[in-house]
Structure 1
């Protein structure tokens, strides 16, 4: 691999609104290496990319949400986030103030916002191409704090924790779920990125008990032994409902819902207390179905929500951007103090991006699923 070659992942076929992702939906092909940078553009070497449940919606002709655009068949897949290294910066057409004359119309050009070797991530826009090298506008990028490189997981941390996954968990638990001392909290999809963090944040804010729901005994052990959950229940077990009832004997104050479907119906109808709060984070059980978001719910669940005055409104972390700076500061403090554990499931090579998305959708990950594309030296990872 040299800096004059490049690869990208394209959407080769849609899975269908009621279909599941397969390898046939993705293809890897050679593509042009970006060589002609326009003003304000930055050439990025892709180091890590994240895969997220919401990307399944992007594989349809309509995503069902206003903040995500669909990927197009035959075109490069657009991811939601990543970390890269600046290779080169394009020229700047923005004039800088002339310090000698005070003339803001001086022909002296302002320096680029970034320099080669800087580590960057996407800023507020949910846009990160699935390619080894690509260009983005300066305003689409944010500089990664150099101190992060010395923290656990280093450059993976902005995706696994100090990014949208972590903010979703933090603000979902704190601002939407309003977890307080003595609460009983249930987290579904508990072994995933948001789930592992949400449970730990709930404990930090005084939850009496945190109960995880996940899809294997191995994950149950990981939640209890590695992430401090009080207990965990395998929803694939024949004894799931009885074990969940035992764990939730005191009732449930807050339900952090990552999955929807029958699991959520059981939690809300059978176990939630009056005036309970549901953090409607995700509905992965329905992402392969042709239904709106949030999906419709069964009548007994709707009746329980009304009868028990349960607060169940859609949660979108982008609506809480005014709280991001304070949240990120607190999150950084927690990980520096060793209060939060972050787990990463990593695939290597751009060729594995589609597989990684399928693996995450099938529950094959613990913690954050991501793909390592390149080393910072420029060598692309290969199997």
Structure 2
């Protein structure tokens, strides 16, 4: 790629089931020129997140789908290359949603300036960004953790789950993480201070989880769905709270899962146990962004919260990394170092 070119990854086709490499297309185009009141951004970091799978579908959801031929959506940290905007100078770092591309033109709408001296800029896409705020707002508003309660979080070694578990520990909960494989489970125990960890790949997952939660589950932070939910459901205590953040196990389903219809059982249990099950999108709590950044920044400086990043190099590797994310292959917050 020359200095006068930009690269971008567009949606080539809508996946039927799991995304495939041919659903993405890497394009090269002339470098865009910023007009009056605009800036040219060069992407440094791209965030890869499970919600992007939903954007590849045409169905109605809480956000518009990516159109065929359009740049894949994604959060980015970029540097201002050229500016015709009074509010931005070349060299400044900004957080935005410019997507899977090496360059973008912006009028400044939706951008937030970053201070590289305050924290590594890529943390604005992870622990100090959308995943961190998702964990913070979902847990505190819906989960409402209390001392000595038992919290279980699925996908516990990921960007959201790891943060949920650590905040719950700060609030006095007994924290159980569900993750894939011995290495991730050891990370939860040895690095993040979880009280217990259960491998979701274990064939006897329901029995292991029951042994780990002898007093039941008061809060279950749902990131996965599928067999993990089936193992958790019988262990929920009266008045348990379930923030529903994601269901990555089912994102690529093309048909309802096999087996009996459990709707009657679910509704009956919601009634008799007085469960609170609430889905949420992080923007529902946008007014709490200041509180989140204040608290999380303090916890990080005090060493009370830790995070892990999984970095791949090069925009061209984004599709492969994203497909691996949907299969749980990442270990920590997944980022693409674009330039």
- Relative to the length of structure 1, the TM-score reads 0.84
Relative distance call for 1:193 and 1:291 in structure 2 (3 A) is: farther
Q: How many residues align?
A: 335
- Alignment match, 2:61: 65
- Alignment match, 1:136: 106
| C-alpha distance in structure 1 between counterparts of 2:70 and 2:244, whole Å | 32
Mapped contact 2:98–2:104 kept (Cα < 8 A): no
| C-alpha distance in structure 1 between counterparts of 2:92 and 2:106, whole Å | 14
Mapped contact 2:222–2:242 kept (Cα < 8 A): yes
Structure 2: 5+ residue stretches without partners: none
* 1:286 corresponds to 2:250: yes
| C-alpha distance in structure 1 between counterparts of 2:262 and 2:176, whole Å | 23
- Alignment match, 1:34: 32
- Relative to the length of structure 2, the TM-score reads 0.94
| C-alpha distance in structure 1 between counterparts of 2:109 and 2:26, whole Å | 28
Mapped contact 1:173–1:198 kept (Cα < 8 A): yes
- Alignment match, 1:170: 136
Which among 87, 90, 94 is matched to residue 113 of structure 1? 87
Q: Which has the larger radius of gyration?
A: 1
**Secondary structure in 1 matching 2:5:** coil
* 1:179 corresponds to 2:145: yes
| C-alpha distance in structure 1 between counterparts of 2:325 and 2:98, whole Å | 18
Mapped contact 1:265–1:301 kept (Cα < 8 A): no
| C-alpha distance in structure 2 between counterparts of 1:82 and 1:287, whole Å | 23
Compute the displacement of 1:213 (Å).
0.9
**Secondary structure in 2 matching 1:182:** coil
Structure 1: 5+ residue stretches without partners: 93-111, 375-383
Mapped contact 1:186–1:211 kept (Cα < 8 A): yes
| C-alpha distance in structure 2 between counterparts of 1:224 and 1:299, whole Å | 37
| C-alpha distance in structure 1 between counterparts of 2:5 and 2:203, whole Å | 52
* 1:76 corresponds to 2:50: no
| C-alpha distance in structure 2 between counterparts of 1:128 and 1:299, whole Å | 44
Compute the displacement of 1:38 (Å).
1.9
Mapped contact 2:209–2:231 kept (Cα < 8 A): no
| C-alpha distance in structure 2 between counterparts of 1:297 and 1:34, whole Å | 53
- Alignment match, 1:354: 319
- Alignment match, 2:21: 23
Compute the displacement of 1:2 (Å).
4.1
Compute the displacement of 1:215 (Å).
1.7
* 1:214 corresponds to 2:188: no
Which among 240, 246, 268 is matched to residue 276 of structure 1? 240
| C-alpha distance in structure 1 between counterparts of 2:216 and 2:331, whole Å | 27
1:1-383 → structure 2 map (5 Å cutoff): 1-16=1-16, 19-35=17-33, 37-62=34-59, 64-66=60-62, 68-79=63-74, 81-90=75-84, 92=85, 112-122=86-96, 127-148=97-118, 151=119, 154-207=120-173, 209-268=174-233, 270-290=234-254, 298-374=263-339
Moved over 6 A (4+): none
| C-alpha distance in structure 2 between counterparts of 1:49 and 1:217, whole Å | 28
Relative distance call for 1:291 and 1:335 in structure 2 (3 A) is: farther
